[in-house]
Structure 1
Amino acid sequence: MISINNLTFEIGARALYDEANWHIKPGEKAGLIGANGTGKTTLLKLIVGEMKPTSGTISMAKDLKIGYLNQDLLSYQSDKSILHVSMEAFERQNELHDQIEELLKKLETDYSDDILHKLSDKQAEFEALDGYNIEYRAAGILAGLGFNEEQQQRKLSQFSGGWRMRVMLARILLQAPDILLLDEPTNHLDLPSIQWLETYLQAFEGAVVIVSHDRYFLDRVINKTVESRKGKLNVYAGNYSFYQEEKSLREEIQGNQFKNQQAKIKQEEKLIERFRAKASKAKMVQSRIKALDRMDKVDAVDDDTPTVNFSFRFSKPSGRHVKTLKNISKSYPNVPILKDTEGIIEKGDKIALIGANGRGKSTLLRIIAGVDPDFEGTCESGHNVSQTFFAQHQLEALHLENEVLQELQAFAPKHTETELRTILGSFLFTGDDAFKKIKVLSGGEKSRVALAKALTADANFLLLDEPTNHLDIQSINILIQALKQYEGTFIVVSHDRYLLDNVANKIWYIEDQKIKQYPGTYQEYEDWQAGRKEAIKNTSKEPKIKKEKKEVKPEIKKVQGKSSSNLNKDLEHLEADIVEAENKIKDFELQLADPEIYNSTDKLAELTKLYQAAKNQLNDYKNRWEELADKILELEE
């Protein structure tokens, strides 16, 4: 379908891609993942031709129909209804509709056969293209993305950026392309809309490439994961969870290869050093030196998983009741949100506030934060409660001329520069990144700065409104680790189910204009909502078969009574055996590095068994070589 061959793309002196390869097959559903700055969005732009590669090729059929959702579509403006905008996907049907209307108008004064034939042909083609159902299809897609009938008739210009992006997504889906390229499609969707999109994409017959930070979404939609890393595209034959497991296996194998190779190098260097002064061993020494020079070096595993290595402090703990809401009512013109509802946030609560957009999540959060005074009822803070509120609009409150470190220093003056640099490092601002000006940062980088500020506040109560917007998976992991370490109380609004399931111990949702509560994790809440009586227990992984380890007793060749020349012959034979064993191990390691082997448990087990046996044999040979080498030295001294 699409073939990427030896793709190189350079930005200045930096190669974003360096001879990368990937073949996208028909019907394939792939997740394109990687840290921010590794070129995911750039790759999509290269595929659609918005950018040109430095070298290499991207080839595809000329008639391939691509649907491309990107953040630039937010700039699209129209005073037409969103139903009409979404129906723009049906270009030919709309063209035929206008032509039919024009012919019908002509028929009022011209009854010629020519007009009648043209009208008949246009109507037949219109019907063949299902033109009479396009409005119904468009309305169905919009409904799935959260637009009710009244909203579908409103002008696009009346909606905020996030809702406009949904309309653009609807228009792309209605085009029925051969392949969908979706850049962060869940960024502006609520949970019900994300779940609808999951179901839609699962049934979609074309190919899909998704750039997303939502690992639950990826797990439920994709069947292949492609990691953009260090200029290459590494393919894993499964969803995101499969990728994590297989990557861990690959790194374990690579780590073992590196460790074994380093041990071998040290041993070889030791032997070379031992025999370097012996003229009789000059040939052998030179042979080992050349072998070391020719050796394909295995790289050490580069662990780029960031961790939070600082602790959050607040000067005083709160009382038992952090917030008490009584008889809360709130409405907008003709839109009731909350009606005579109540709730209590207690010390230590980790609350996920969830639900569809328009149900009042952000409104309730603003009431709790005290930034929306226009409501009925009371919202009281408890004893010693100190709070900080993170919302997306706070990105606009960052001081653009400040450097990143300056921004934190101004906000948290009690922290030392070392502490703040440590915090910034945990949020992926390392080295000179701390001295970048806020104005040059991307949306995701600004979000990380604002989050770092929120989490360094002397606050025992955090309110977080969609904190994962614009964050990549690495940054979300940092936020999860940070919230797990936080000993205070928090309430978070988010559509990222992985984050919610990892940090929340209580679920709040709004139903019938009331605050409802579920005392458990997000996954338990989902299961309960689906009507299950009992939370799904974590599926345990297949237990590994423990094999009894047999002590390997190397056979030491008797050397009593043998001459030095005979021992040297034995040594040469052993060296040949060692080379053969090393080649065998290298062959096994190549097989174990092949992703296909992990699709068969039996083959993997058998190959692992053979690999271990070869390693044991090599150790046996090396021990025997050492014994003989020591004996030769004794005889020759």
Structure 2
Amino acid sequence: MIILQAAGLGKTLAGRPILDNINMTLQAGEKAGLVGANGSGKTTLLKCLSGQLEAEHGNVMLGKHQQLGFLEQLPPRDPEETIWDIVMGSFSDLLDIRQRLSELEQAISSGRGDVDMLLKQYSLLQDEYHDRNGYACETMARRILAGLGIDPCQYDLRLGELSGGQKTRLDLARLLALSPNILLLDEPTNHLDMSAVEWLEEYLNDYSGTVLVVSHDRRFLDRVVNKIFELRERKLRAFEGNYSAYIVKAEAQDQARLKAFEKQQEQIRETEAYIERYRSGIKARQARGRQSQLSRLERLQRPAQEIRQHSWKLHSRQDSGEIVINLQDVSKCYDGKSLFSGVDLLIRRGERVALLGPNGCGKTTLLKLITAEITPDQGTIGLGSGVRPGYFSQGYENLQHERTLLEEMVYDCNLNLQQARDKLAMMHFRGDTVNQRVGDLSGGEKGRLA
């Protein structure tokens, strides 16, 4: 049964066509992935499907009695609310029934009013509460929060005290607690540690509703989805199977389309040569006939090629000393809570180091200590001779949204115009795209720019 359908969707943003004649159907219970290059329009398509953006062309049809859940449509909450209250707010309709049942119990026990009518109302409400698993609200909330790495000791934290990553996980918890018929998820694994990603995989596999998820995580898509939609050059293609199956099928389809295009081009060249050779003379009539056939020919378009990143290397502008980073007995607290203490770390020139740990353990804080954005409560942090750190942050906070891409590179990186264009081209920002505003870029494009 089709529960969500898009027909002929077209959308333009900041003067740039993003979607063109997009057709999509989602069946009940289907788990689908939406893939494509950064800036191809994946988030825009989700927003059009959810109604957050209105397409200039086409329409979206949602099945009767279907509830659609999308993170960006969640209503804002009071910064003073706690994590627990916010997640339990997703069960507000069930909590209202629970409150009404309590009121009816009091009225029945006191003998006020028409007891038979009250008993009938109570029975109907109790059946609805039972059918919707109202008794398991708290259990479900604790299960979701635990799966996303939020411990019971954090339940009383207020929204205003949370980091950006914690707020993202809390919003995901709110959405999962709502348990809509259709889940639209845009990069849900961002800000999740590995154990939380694995939990989300299991949750979505057990989820009885329909899922459409945008992700660049191939492993996640392989484990969760059974269909892939590919958005490329403003067009949408659908493939049955997980991500690995999509790679094989898309490559085969691209090769077949390219072969058909090249064969048609060869036929066009031969026909044009024949027409030119016999335009006048004994075969002029045949030449005119072929010219007529050529003018009616439906010409194939060269298949759009997937954007592939250039192979390039990062070079340090100057050699550093043997010791690059040296942390000794470093400690840091936030709001009276110790993130870590007694940290010793020595990194030497040429080493590649991965920093792992659960959400909220202080990984980003440690990086900010090393880059001197914040200071330790205790201990020392030393950078070696000639060391100049470069920091790629989760939220791309250092980007200036009012600048163009070219201005950002020139002013922030101390480059001339040609050097800036060359660097941008390495990340596939070419032509007029270098004059776009940073604020108009998609999340993935901002990551490439950063």
After superposition, the Cα gap between the structure-2 partners of 1:430 and 1:9, relative to the gap in structure 1 and judged at 3 Å, is same
Q: How does 1:510-589 map to 2 (within 5 A)?
A: none
- In structure 1, the partner of 2:3 is 2
After superposition, the Cα gap between the structure-2 partners of 1:127 and 1:254, relative to the gap in structure 1 and judged at 3 Å, is closer
Task: For 2:36 and 2:289, locate their aligned partners in 1 and report how far apart those are by CA, in whole Å.
Answer: 43
After superposition, the Cα gap between the structure-2 partners of 1:298 and 1:10, relative to the gap in structure 1 and judged at 3 Å, is same
Q: Using the TM superposition, give the Cα deviation of residue 110 of structure 1 relative to its aligned residue in structure 2, in angstroms.
A: 4.1
Task: For 2:16 and 2:266, locate their aligned partners in 1 and report how far apart those are by CA, in whole Å.
Answer: 34
Task: For 2:140 and 2:314, locate their aligned partners in 1 and report how far apart those are by CA, in whole Å.
Answer: 51
Q: How does 1:58-457 map to 2 (within 5 A)?
A: 58-70=60-72, 72-73=73-74, 75-77=76-78, 79-106=80-107, 109-110=110-111, 113-114=115-116, 115=118, 118-119=121-122, 121-279=124-282, 281-308=283-310, 312-332=314-334, 335-392=337-394, 395=397, 397-399=398-400, 402-413=403-414, 415-438=415-438, 444-449=444-449, 451=450
After superposition, the Cα gap between the structure-2 partners of 1:360 and 1:324, relative to the gap in structure 1 and judged at 3 Å, is same
Q: Deviations over 1:316-349 (max 9, x none)?
A: 2223332233444444466443343433322222
SS in 2 for 1:217: helix
SS in 1 for 2:260: helix
TM-score under structure 1 length normalisation: 0.63
Task: For 1:125 and 1:74, locate their aligned partners in 2 and report how far apart those are by CA, in whole Å.
Answer: 26
Is the 2:309–2:428 Cα contact (8 Å) retained in structure 1? Answer: no
After superposition, the Cα gap between the structure-2 partners of 1:74 and 1:374, relative to the gap in structure 1 and judged at 3 Å, is farther
Is the 1:3–1:23 Cα contact (8 Å) retained in structure 2? Answer: yes
After superposition, the Cα gap between the structure-2 partners of 1:165 and 1:282, relative to the gap in structure 1 and judged at 3 Å, is same
SS in 2 for 1:251: helix
How many residues align structurally? 446
Larger Rg: 1
TM-score under structure 2 length normalisation: 0.86
Task: For 2:163 and 2:342, locate their aligned partners in 1 and report how far apart those are by CA, in whole Å.
Answer: 29
Task: For 1:339 and 1:271, locate their aligned partners in 2 and report how far apart those are by CA, in whole Å.
Answer: 82
Q: Deviations over 1:221-273 (max 9, x none)?
A: 11111122334321011223332332222222222222222233333333444
Task: For 2:394 and 2:224, locate their aligned partners in 1 and report how far apart those are by CA, in whole Å.
Answer: 28
Is the 1:7–1:17 Cα contact (8 Å) retained in structure 2? Answer: no
SS in 2 for 1:266: helix
- In structure 2, the partner of 1:25 is 27
**Structure showing the higher helix proportion among its residues:** 1
Is the 1:309–1:422 Cα contact (8 Å) retained in structure 2? Answer: no
SS in 1 for 2:98: helix
Give the percent of matched residue pairs that are identical in Structure 1 and Structure 2. 35
Q: Which amino acid aligns with 1:308?
A: H
Task: For 1:58 and 1:406, locate their aligned partners in 2 and report how far apart those are by CA, in whole Å.
Answer: 39
Q: Using the TM superposition, give the Cα deviation of residue 210 of structure 1 relative to its aligned residue in structure 2, in angstroms.
A: 0.8
Root mean square deviation, CA, Å: 3.1
Q: Using the TM superposition, give the Cα deviation of residue 401 of structure 1 relative to its aligned residue in structure 2, in angstroms.
A: 5.0
Is the 2:191–2:359 Cα contact (8 Å) retained in structure 1? Answer: no
Q: Which amino acid aligns with 2:374?
A: D
Is the 1:38–1:228 Cα contact (8 Å) retained in structure 2? Answer: yes
Q: Using the TM superposition, give the Cα deviation of residue 356 of structure 1 relative to its aligned residue in structure 2, in angstroms.
A: 0.9
Is the 2:77–2:86 Cα contact (8 Å) retained in structure 1? Answer: no
Q: Using the TM superposition, give the Cα deviation of residue 86 of structure 1 relative to its aligned residue in structure 2, in angstroms.
A: 1.9
Is the 2:5–2:60 Cα contact (8 Å) retained in structure 1? Answer: yes
Q: Using the TM superposition, give the Cα deviation of residue 128 of structure 1 relative to its aligned residue in structure 2, in angstroms.
A: 4.2
SS in 1 for 2:307: coil
SS in 2 for 1:353: coil
SS in 2 for 1:84: helix
Q: Deviations over 1:112-139 (max 9, x none)?
A: 6345554455445434433222111111
Is the 2:261–2:302 Cα contact (8 Å) retained in structure 1? Answer: yes
After superposition, the Cα gap between the structure-2 partners of 1:57 and 1:380, relative to the gap in structure 1 and judged at 3 Å, is closer
- In structure 2, the partner of 1:562 is none
Task: For 1:8 and 1:431, locate their aligned partners in 2 and report how far apart those are by CA, in whole Å.
Answer: 27
Q: Which amino acid aligns with 1:97?
A: R
Task: For 1:77 and 1:241, locate their aligned partners in 2 and report how far apart those are by CA, in whole Å.
Answer: 43
Task: For 2:22 and 2:125, locate their aligned partners in 1 and report how far apart those are by CA, in whole Å.
Answer: 47
Q: 1:44 aligns with which of 39, 43, 46?
A: 46
Structure 1: where are the runs of 5+ without partners?
Answer: 452-637
Task: For 2:261 and 2:440, locate their aligned partners in 1 and report how far apart those are by CA, in whole Å.
Answer: 39
Q: Deviations over 1:557-576 (max 9, x none)?
A: xxxxxxxxxxxxxxxxxxxx
Task: For 2:349 and 2:75, locate their aligned partners in 1 and report how far apart those are by CA, in whole Å.
Answer: 41
Is the 1:201–1:221 Cα contact (8 Å) retained in structure 2? Answer: yes
Task: For 2:317 and 2:12, locate their aligned partners in 1 and report how far apart those are by CA, in whole Å.
Answer: 47
Q: Which amino acid aligns with 1:77?
A: D
SS in 2 for 1:142: helix
SS in 1 for 2:345: strand
Q: Using the TM superposition, give the Cα deviation of residue 204 of structure 1 relative to its aligned residue in structure 2, in angstroms.
A: 1.4
Structure 2: where are the runs of 5+ without partners?
Answer: none
After superposition, the Cα gap between the structure-2 partners of 1:185 and 1:49, relative to the gap in structure 1 and judged at 3 Å, is same
